[in-house]
Amino acid sequence: MLNLAIPIPNVPGKQDIEIEMTMNGNRCKFHYRVEVYRWADCQPGTDNRVDCVRSLVREYDDEWTVYHIGMPTEEYVPLTFIKKEDWAIQQALRWAGK
């Protein structure tokens, strides 16, 4: 799948992003959510950062799935989620093109 990078302003808190695009005459709308999690917010006793991300994702809203894990820093990790129904549409479009 090809990628298109769109810079998103670094604003604190949750960022709900709706992207509507037309590809080859077909219109699609996808819903994303970007959240920045501070390592300090991990459950006490969680020293492994992978375990921390797993617990954050496991407790997330059931309508969303992880789309991308951004470049972590010493202070935080950005996670991008996509609505599950939009993920299914993306996968169907991906396989239709093959």
Cα(96)–Cα(64) distance, rounded to whole angstroms? 23
By CB atoms closer than 10 A (0-12, 13-18, 19+), residue 60 is: middle
Summarize pLDDT for 11-40 with one digit per residue, the tens: 767 889 999 988 778 888 999 999 988 888
Instruction: State yes or no: pLDDT of 9 exceeds 80.
Output: no
- Cβ contact 46:59 at 8 Å: no
Summarize pLDDT for 45-73 with one digit per residue, the tens: 667 888 888 888 888 889 999 999 988 99
Q: Where are the domains of the chain?
A: 34-78
